[in-house]
Amino acid sequence: MPYPESLKKLIEKVEATRPARVERKKNDKEFPPLKLEEREPVLRNFHPDFIEGTRREIKVGPSKGYSISNEVVDILEAKSRMNPDLVNLSEPDFETDVLVIGAGGAGTAAAILAAENGAKVMIATKLRHGDANTMMAEGGIQAADKVGKDSPYYHYLDILGGGHFVNDPELVYTIVQNAPDALRWLEGLGTNFSKFEDGKMKTMHGGGTCRKRMHYAADITGAEIMKTIRDEARNHTDMIDVIEFCPAVEIALDDQGRCVGAVLYNLETAEYLFVKAMAVIMATGGSGRLHIQGFMTTNHYGATADGLVMAYRAGVPISFLHTVQYHPTGVVFPEQAEGILITEKFRGAGANVLNVHGEQFVYEREPRDVEAACIIRECSPKGRGNGVPTPTGKFGVWLDSPMIDMLKGEGTVRKEFPGKHILFRRFGIDISTEPMLIHPTLHYQNGGLDINNQCETNIPGLYAAGEVSAGIHGENRLMGNSLLDVIVFGRIAGTQAAGYIREHDDAGPANLDHVKRYNKEVEAAGIKEDRIAPMILPDYSNPEVREKQLTKDYFGTLS
């Protein structure tokens, strides 16, 4: 859908202010960023985390009493999908050394490293190998590798500032110190980073960075990384098996409380299958498809927090889930593309964010939570009410992509942002000459399962890496640190799990007692709603159709 006349009129206001804004940018005259102490009131008044009535305390499990989003509590205060008494754990359907649950960036990196360290690996995944938020990450991956102007020291400070200074210091230390080596690993596998002719990496700013350390592969950095490491995993056919469309639904423990496998659900044959393993790596990613507070999301179809549920039931505490990341720039028009991520790299390359009058109201490179809150303030009738109205009655603000061609030469948008250029072209919009209409969109699960710097959870033999884990990003992740997170901690988890199995080959018989206990705890807590989890797939079917789906175990409906 090209822009209708009403929006084209408003774009004229953007065009009117553009030449002066480009001039200012060329002279490094930026819209003033908020001071550290000015961030707090904007967040408190306009960030969705602070809206009353959207959180409640969890009544069960290891982090009982912790207050987080209702949607996450709903799936934690839920019973197992299956009757734990009916699964036969004494005759495993598969046996492996290391079971990796989830086949995104973290799971795939973990599998490769575990295999290289001598472990037989099985990757079990809900959808296809590579179906994950990693594939959808666009803007870049951080690493402080520009010798002479940047270092892990500044990367550390940036991460802490973005995360409100409450991040786990050991995890931050680990990510910044391992970042350059993670990039070198990806480079060696043949990942097409954007480079200068001499091989030097091109790097840009992201929100909240003090040095340009965002490495990228045009505007499809995550896809490029995911495709490359998935291809590499496929070179290890002797060591890595992948089983697709078979999500894990519970992990299994032995008599000493060690993790010794998981129960999978074959989405196509409806069988429950037991995989016996000596160690398990949880790499199931995030939870955008829970649509917290009804927000649209940038996340993959499979982002339903399955791993969080499974591990929590088994006793792994959770933290940093009281904050949720809303990406400042999701598509709000055309409606068909609603919620789709517009990479922060546009702002890193200089595109201003503008209100209905074509005026700047926020520095475009604030940390994500601050940027999102300022945009919501601009759009909200309770705030400044300067949003751009869309034909469907929503509000957004402009992201002025045509500035980039004026700053960096004609053709830059097409060349540096081919993914988004094609996407909008399909709808009759040329983003090298017309701005995009955007609004914050649900993007990232800042917290999750507690881990240490070896990716160990409190359950021996159970590791976690990537978006499912907590602490690295504190209360707000900066751009480019999630791709880094999945590679750095995925590799650590794989290496550690392979090391663990060399010393622990004496697993006792597997059981699901913790699931039975948890089911009882849910009942005892007086939770009346008959919810089951993990969710596995979100349900977008038409409510009128759903009412007629009378068979309880209807094939296509999973909840």
The answer to whether the CB of 144 falls within 8 A of the CB of 214 is no
Nearer to another protein, 256 or 541 (CB): 541
Three-class secondary structure of residue 353 per DSSP? strand
Alpha-carbon distance of 447 to 466, in angstroms, equals 10
The token duo for 485 is 């997170």
Alpha-carbon distance of 102 to 307, in angstroms, equals 9
Whole-number minimum distance, CB 143 to another protein, in Å? 8
Nearer to another protein, 148 or 526 (CB): 148
Tell me which of 347, 377, 421, 514 is the catalytic residue. Answer: 347
The token duo for 207 is 């929100």
Whole-number minimum distance, CB 530 to another protein, in Å? 20
Nearer to another protein, 276 or 347 (CB): 347
Nearer to another protein, 150 or 250 (CB): 150
Q: Phi/psi zone of residue 468: left (φ > 0), alpha (ψ -120 to 50 degrees), beta?
A: alpha
The answer to whether the CB of 445 falls within 8 A of the CB of 465 is no
Nearer to another protein, 95 or 181 (CB): 181
Whole-number minimum distance, CB 245 to another protein, in Å? 7
Q: Tokens 């597997």 label which residue?
A: 510
Alpha-carbon distance of 295 to 288, in angstroms, equals 9
The answer to whether the CB of 315 falls within 8 A of the CB of 253 is no
Residues 6+ apart with CB under 8 A from 294: none
Whole-number minimum distance, CB 228 to another protein, in Å? 6
Three-class secondary structure of residue 232 per DSSP? helix
The answer to whether the CB of 536 falls within 8 A of the CB of 83 is no
Between vectors from CA 228 to CA 223 and to CA 229, what angle results, nearest 5°?
105
Q: How many Cα atoms occupy the beta-carbon half-sphere of 23 within 13 Å? A: 4
Alpha-carbon distance of 524 to 520, in angstroms, equals 6
The answer to whether the CB of 370 falls within 8 A of the CB of 34 is yes
Burial of residue 86, with CB atoms counted within 10 A of its CB: 0-12 exposed, 13-18 middle, 19 or more buried:
exposed
Alpha-carbon distance of 260 to 390, in angstroms, equals 52
Nearer to another protein, 20 or 147 (CB): 147
Alpha-carbon distance of 201 to 194, in angstroms, equals 6
- Separation of first and last alpha carbons in the chain: 34
Q: Phi/psi zone of residue 239: left (φ > 0), alpha (ψ -120 to 50 degrees), beta?
A: alpha
Whole-number minimum distance, CB 160 to another protein, in Å? 6
Tell me which of 47, 289, 327, 514 is the catalytic residue. Answer: 327
Among the listed residues 102, 61, 512, the one whose alpha carbon sits nearest the alpha carbon of residue 316: 61
Nearer to another protein, 363 or 463 (CB): 363
Nearer to another protein, 35 or 552 (CB): 35
Whole-number minimum distance, CB 266 to another protein, in Å? 11
Taking the CA atoms of residue 481, residue 485, residue 486 and residue 491 in that order, the dihedral angle to the nearest 10 degrees is 140
Whole-number minimum distance, CB 201 to another protein, in Å? 5
Whole-number minimum distance, CB 241 to another protein, in Å? 14
Q: Is 327 a catalytic residue?
A: yes
Nearer to another protein, 153 or 524 (CB): 153
Whole-number minimum distance, CB 418 to another protein, in Å? 6
DSSP-derived pairing of the beta strands 395-399 and 353-354: antiparallel
Q: Which residues are marked as active site? A: 327, 347
